[in-house]
Structure 1
C-alpha cells in the first residue's frame, strides 16, 4: 500500500514539475521545437514534452542545464508544495497601475559597474518573487522605484529619469 501512495505522490510531483517547466518555456515564448533548435538538440522536443506532461522524470543535472538554458534559477523550475498554482503566461502578483515603469533587461545586460550590478541583483529578486522570467522587460511598481532610487543614489522623483538616462526604460500608461 505504501508503494501505491508513494507512486501517486511521485506522479503528482512529476506533473507539477512538468507544469512548471511548461510555464517557464511559455514565458520565454518558446515552442518545444524552438528549444530543441536553440539548444543544439540537447533538449529534444519529444523528451522535453514528456517532462512537461509528467510522463518522464528529469534528472538533477539535466534540470540544471535546462535552468541555465532558460536563464532562470534552478529552484524556479521546481513547484512550491504549499503555494498556489503557477501562472502559465507571466506574472501573477498584483495589478500594475498607471505609475509603473518598464525596465529593458536586455539593455541592463550591456551596462557595467557597481550601479548596474546592484540593479541587476535587485531586479532579479523581483523576477523571482513574481515568477516573471520573460527576460526582455520587467515592469516595476512605485514601491520598487524607491529601492531603485536608493541604488542609483537619487531621490524617488528622479529615479525614472535616471533609468531613462541609462537607456533602461520608460513609463507605462
Structure 2
C-alpha cells in the first residue's frame, strides 16, 4: 500500500468516526471539499496538499498530525526504559505556559514520592509520554527541553 492510500485510509476512518458522509463534509466546508475529490483522497487516487489537509483537520476537529498514518519505520519512543532525569532548574526557565504545566506535574510526582531533595528528578518514560501528550508535543522534543 502506498503512502497516498494510507493517508486515504486515515481520512476515511476519521470522517466515519465523525459520522459524516462525503456530502456532509462538502456542506461543512462551504463547498471547498467536493465529495468526488474527497473520495479520491480517501481511495489514495489523489495527493492532498498540506494546507488542504490542515483545513480538513479543522473541519473534523482533530489535530492535523492525526490525519497522517503511522510510519512503521519510525520509532514511537526514543526514551530509555529506565526513565529520564530532569533538571528542575531548566523547568523554571521554560516559557510560562509550558513551564507551569511541567512544574505542576513534577511537583505532584515529588509529593507522591516524598522526594524534595534536589535539583533533579527522574521520571518514567510513560510519565514523559503523558506530559508530552498534555503539551501537544513529542516525547523527544519534551525531553530536549527538560533533560539534565
* Larger of the two Rg values belongs to structure: 2
